[in-house]
Amino acid sequence: MSATTDALDALIADYVLMVNSAGEGFTVPRDPSAPRVAMAADALVSDFLYRLDREHGIDAYSRTDAVRSWLDTRLTISTAGRLRVPVALRAHQVVDDDTGAPRLLIDLGDPEVGFFIDVRAGGWTLFDPRVPGADERYPVDERPVFTRPSTDFRALPIPRRGEVRGEGRDWLRGALNLSERDWRLVWGWMLTAYFSQWDRQGLLFVAPTKVGKTLRAGMVLRFIQPSDPHADGIGADFPESQREWGSLIAGNAVLAFDDVERISDKAHGNLKRIVTGVAFKTQTLYKTSGLTVTRGKRPLVLTASGTPSGLRDDLRNRLWLVEPTAPPVGDRLRSTFEHMAPAIFADLLDDLADALALYLPAEGELARQISETGVGVRPLEVTALFRALDRAQGLDPSAGFEQAARDALQDSLMEAASGDRFAYTVRVFLSGHPDGGVLSSQDLLAGLAETARELFPDSHPEREDWFPKDATRMGTFFTKKADSLNEAGVYLAKRMPDRNTRGWAWEPIPEDLRVYAPTAPAPVRLPVRTSDSDLSGPAFPDEPKG
């Protein structure tokens, strides 16, 4: 055995070798006072070369590849057959063995000390490994392992309660200067952002320029994904490739994009995959075989001067729309915010612990509701947490966090049903036949086109991107707008008026949701075609085949 190998054996003894959930080997410092941060073998090469030179008098700089190979081999051999250890970016979500409720272990990100926060039902604890007896409460082998993908990974404030509970939360509420509902959406989003296993809602700040939407987003991100304070933690354009999206997910606990004007079909699909946790698979860099797989759900934060074009219903219903109407309030706002950040964070953790204490009963109620009605609740866990928070704070259910989230979604979808040209055309046309009916696909498309020309006389629907070019694409448009149309009382289903004709049927539209545009045809009551369908109702007579 060479002197270099002996020296490397001595250096590697300072680290614990482990395997993550994906079967990849990594190391963490053995020093109990150091952050439990996962490092790949490559991350140790430079440090080992330096220590070989300084501590052992061995100049191995010209043998960098050999040192790297030794580390890779040692890691592979030492971790073979070991239990896999979960590694988390910013926060672990686990189940509390004592209560069965969700529990969070949040990495504060301090580069020198392994601070983390343990949030359980009813309370939270700041873990400081320097305190005597820390190993008794959290043995080294049981402490959570985190990942910090880049040097830009910044620390969260160390929580510290103010003189009065709620002092920090109330200050932030005043500084953000939002409506009551928007405040509940923002504070609620901050509470749910740490739950990596949940489907979490995103935030979309929509406001004109100079109203402070980017500043507000940066203040919110301070407690989970702080970045360069001059950039407020907000990202730039959407990535183009799968690899870029995968890298973005791997390095960020939240994905944030500023001043979004348009969401392309490709970006829309990737944003949905991020929210739902679908993996990104790309070819391994610099290799002819193998895949790099990046997975993990991430919450979104977007800012825009107006509702971005291309925002479809299936992404819209995963975003809470926040609309500031005036700038944030406060003298020396940035410096005061940093001063108040520890108290804000402590209040956030207090509210989270209170909600977790009542979470399981709320979740059980929603599960029974779904079982009895057959109607799903989305997002289930977030709704349960908000119901628990309303009860913990003694809020009226009709004016609390749960209702704010429900109202925000309904209003957003109704806005889409009225503001989107195609959805509005569908509503106006079907309101002209409000008792329900069935039409062939070609007749329905022709009727929609005629209505569109009357509503928008300066446009040519058949040539516009917002209008389907043919009957097949019309079905795709209906699918994309289904959520907002449903919210507006429009329910469409494929139906065959006769054995040779494909078509669509619609249910009666509630009177208070009908839309009668001045230029649209007046409502018409049509004779009933059939009575053997749950969607049966008045229909156009003499529909042509084909």
CA distance 392 to 416: 34
From the CA atom positions of the chain, what is the Rg in Å? 28
Inform me whether the pLDDT recorded for 542 exceeds 60: no
**Per-residue pLDDT band at 19 (split at 50, 70, 90):** confident
CA distance 492 to 490: 6
Residue 422, C-beta contacts closer than 8 angstroms, at least 6 positions apart = 452, 466, 467, 468, 477, 481
Residue range(s) of every CATH 3.90.1150 domain in the chain: 420-513
**pLDDT score recorded for residue 530:** 39
**pLDDT score recorded for residue 521:** 45
Strands 255-257 and 300-304 turn out to be: parallel
Q: Are 291 and 127 in contact (CB under 8 A)?
A: no
**Per-residue pLDDT band at 227 (split at 50, 70, 90):** low
More confident residue, 192 or 113: 192
CA distance 68 to 70: 5
How big is the CA angle at 304 (ends 219 and 199), to the nearest 5 degrees?
A: 70
CATH architecture of 167-345: 3-Layer(aba) Sandwich (3.40)
Number of C-alpha atoms within 13 angstroms, CB side, residue 198? Answer: 27
Percent of the chain topping pLDDT 70:
89
The pLDDT tens digits for 186-215 are 999 999 999 999 989 999 999 998 899 989
CA distance 155 to 362: 33
Average confidence (pLDDT) over 484-496:
89
Average confidence (pLDDT) over 106-134:
91
**Per-residue pLDDT band at 235 (split at 50, 70, 90):** low
Q: Are 16 and 79 in contact (CB under 8 A)?
A: no
**18 vs 8, 70, 385, 481, CA distance in Å?**
18, 16, 34, 48
**Per-residue pLDDT band at 278 (split at 50, 70, 90):** low
Q: Which of 60-69, 171-180, 518-527 has the lowest mean pLDDT?
A: 518-527
Q: Which of 62-76, 124-138, 220-234, 262-276 has the lowest mean pLDDT?
A: 220-234
**pLDDT score recorded for residue 536:** 34
Q: Are 492 and 504 in contact (CB under 8 A)?
A: yes
Largest interatomic CA distance in the chain: 97
Inform me whether the pLDDT recorded for 514 exceeds 70: yes
Inform me whether the pLDDT recorded for 72 exceeds 80: yes
What mean pLDDT is reported for the chain?
85
Report residue 516 CA to chain centroid gap: 37
Helices (H) and strands (E) in the chain, counts: 18, 18
Closest by CA to 217, choosing from 302, 304, 154, is: 302
Inform me whether the pLDDT recorded for 238 exceeds 60: yes
User: Rounded to the nearest 5°, which phi and psi values hold at 204?
Assistant: -125, 105
Residue range(s) of every CATH 3.40.50.300 domain in the chain: 167-345
**pLDDT score recorded for residue 331:** 86
The strand ranges marked E within 209-309 are 255-257, 280-283, 291-294, 300-304
Percent of the chain topping pLDDT 90:
40
pTM equals 0.84
Average confidence (pLDDT) over 495-522:
79
Q: Which of 302-311, 382-391, 401-410, 515-524 has the lowest mean pLDDT?
A: 515-524
**Per-residue pLDDT band at 416 (split at 50, 70, 90):** confident
Q: Which of 6-20, 35-49, 163-177, 227-241 has the lowest mean pLDDT?
A: 227-241
Residue 191, C-beta contacts closer than 8 angstroms, at least 6 positions apart = 348, 351, 352, 355, 385, 389
**pLDDT score recorded for residue 295:** 67
Angle between helices 401-419 and 380-392 (to 10 degrees): 130
Q: Are 21 and 86 in contact (CB under 8 A)?
A: yes
Residue 408, C-beta contacts closer than 8 angstroms, at least 6 positions apart = 181, 185, 320, 321
3-state secondary structure of 434: coil
Average confidence (pLDDT) over 428-451:
91
More confident residue, 506 or 138: 506
**pLDDT score recorded for residue 417:** 84
Report residue 410 CA to chain centroid gap: 19
Inform me whether the pLDDT recorded for 334 exceeds 70: yes
Inform me whether the pLDDT recorded for 102 exceeds 90: yes
CA distance 459 to 479: 23
Q: Are 250 and 90 in contact (CB under 8 A)?
A: no
Closest by CA to 467, choosing from 483, 489, 435, 445, is: 445
**pLDDT score recorded for residue 368:** 93
Residue with tokens 């329900």: 436
**Per-residue pLDDT band at 464 (split at 50, 70, 90):** confident
CA distance 119 to 311: 35
Looking at this protein, which amino acid is placed at residue 365? E
The pLDDT tens digits for 371-411 are 988 877 888 999 999 999 999 999 999 999 999 999 998 88
Inform me whether the pLDDT recorded for 234 exceeds 90: no
Quote the tokens at residue 152. Answer: 């830009």
More confident residue, 461 or 116: 116
Closest by CA to 184, choosing from 416, 397, 346, is: 397
**pLDDT score recorded for residue 448:** 93
What's 420-513's CATH class?
alpha beta
Closest by CA to 426, choosing from 469, 464, 463, 455, is: 455
**422 vs 312, 429, 468, 474, 493, CA distance in Å?**
12, 11, 9, 10, 17
Q: Which of 85-89, 152-156, 430-434 has the lowest mean pLDDT?
A: 152-156
For residue 449, is it left (φ>0), alpha (ψ between -120 and 50) or beta?
A: alpha
The strand ranges marked E within 166-283 are 202-206, 255-257, 280-283
- Top mean pLDDT of 35-44, 457-466, 467-476 is at 467-476
| Contacts of the segment 393-397: beta carbons below 8 A, 24+ positions apart | 393/351, 393/354
Number of C-alpha atoms within 13 angstroms, CB side, residue 130? Answer: 6
Q: Which of 21-25, 268-272, 308-312, 451-455 has the lowest mean pLDDT?
A: 21-25
**pLDDT score recorded for residue 418:** 82
CA distance 517 to 532: 32
**Per-residue pLDDT band at 83 (split at 50, 70, 90):** confident
Q: Which residues pair with 544 in a beta bridge?
A: none
**Per-residue pLDDT band at 289 (split at 50, 70, 90):** very low
Inform me whether the pLDDT recorded for 538 exceeds 50: no
Residue 11, C-beta contacts closer than 8 angstroms, at least 6 positions apart = 48, 51, 52
Number of C-alpha atoms within 13 angstroms, CB side, residue 542? Answer: 0
Q: Which of 111-115, 120-124, 137-141, 204-208 has the lowest mean pLDDT?
A: 137-141
